[in-house]
Amino acid sequence: RWAAPEVLTGGPPSEAGDVWSFGVTCWEIFANGAEPYASLSNAQVALALRAGYRLDRPRGCPLELWELILQCWSEDPSVRPTFTSIAETL
């Protein structure tokens, strides 16, 4: 639920994968601790992510932070922000 699509399909751990997980954790905070993809099984989550599905913006999540979260969830790991750039943005 928190792992990046490339990690779910057997890819090695990486900073880009951790950035994805950070985005999910940010979503979880603004969703008041709701479980990400609560209605899906783990296998369904992996398929949905590969098909481009992303969680909806939680109520109360500032637009600027939402845009950062979406960048964390970029399909291409090479275009996800680094933690350094995330820290600068925040």
Which tens digit of pLDDT belongs to each residue from 11-52? Answer: 999 999 999 999 999 999 999 999 999 999 989 999 999 899
CA distance 71 to 75: 9
Mean pLDDT, the chain, rounded, equals: 95
Mean pLDDT of 81-87: 97
Q: Which residues are within 8 A (CB) of 79 and not within 5 positions of it... i.e. 6 or more apart? A: 71
Please name the CATH architecture into which domain 5-89 falls.
Orthogonal Bundle (1.10)
Q: Binning pLDDT at 50, 70 and 90, where does residue 73 land? A: very high
CA distance 26 to 65: 9
Q: Which residues are within 8 A (CB) of 72 and not within 5 positions of it... i.e. 6 or more apart? A: 19, 20, 22, 23, 26, 80, 81, 86
